[in-house]
A and B are shown apart, each in its own frame.
Chain A
């Protein structure tokens, strides 16, 4: 699950990273946002969205995206 700050909400962490990149010579990176990733194994992925809604993300301030990586 990829969890990101919702568009339009101030993301000071993303801004700080965006300011730090040019200082290291990485020019041209814009719209930097920092979120988090939750990785888990589950037999039935049917309830992953509900998991995000209720605990892993706060839908008031964050968007989430579920990525299924198949069996490992």
Chain B
């Protein structure tokens, strides 16, 4: 099983994403100008400041040649994980519902957060249990997830709210404390905290982030 990690100008977490994915499977980097995903079985859109976050976070990256290939891949059912800036890119690309706005506290905030698993199952959280708390770092200034009422209602009915910040940990002001969402089909998932930074007990604070990469591998290999 192979992960592909998209690298935009201004990405900064692509190497950690590659290293995290490499712990559970093969992984390669994909340059934003390439329209070819190199045979990847699952895609990670990493964190950072793609294209300098000009205009809005993710607004320009969404139109890169690699994203055309990612959109096609997602539409054919391929697994796509968006982390932080990657989450913003996937929302801008309309692969995920809603949008991300500047943090309510107006500050770039970097801290370890506990997120609660609301949906355990499917390709990204099959290794989790409902109500489980994962300790993962978050670091961003545009992490306030927002969607209108009609979208929220539809997502709730479909079980698309996968993760929420534990009580008192929602520093960015996301609606309903939502930290991670998936699309209707369940093959695209985005979250603001950084699981790729929580894969090594020595430097990550926890290894809770590994569960997403393992779940993706199991989903791909189980389907093969």
Contact = CB atoms under 8 A, between A and B. Distances in A.
Contacts, number: 31
A12 B102 contact: yes
Nearest to A60: B99
Interface residues of A, number: 10
Task: Give the one of B92, B101, B103 with max A CB within 10 A.
Answer: B101
B146 A13 contact: no
Contact of B92 (A12, A13, A56, A58): A58
Given A10-B173, A55-B59, A60 B98 contact: yes
Contact of B102 (A13, A56, A60): A13
Interface in A27-66: 55-56, 58, 60-61
A12 B105 contact: yes
The B contact surface, by secondary structure, is loop
Interface residues of B, number: 18
Nearest to B97: A60
Contacts of A12: 102-106, 173
B147 interface: yes
B139 interface: no
Contacts of B157: none
Contact of A60 (B104, B105, B148, B173): B148
A13 B56 CA distance: 15
A9 interface: yes
A61 to B, nearest CB: 5
A44 to B, nearest CB: 22
A61 B97 CA distance: 12
B146 A9 contact: yes
Q: Please provide the 8 A-B residue pairs with the shortest distance between their CB atoms, ordered closest to farther.
A: A60-B99, A61-B99, A12-B104, A12-B106, A58-B99, A58-B56, A16-B106, A61-B101
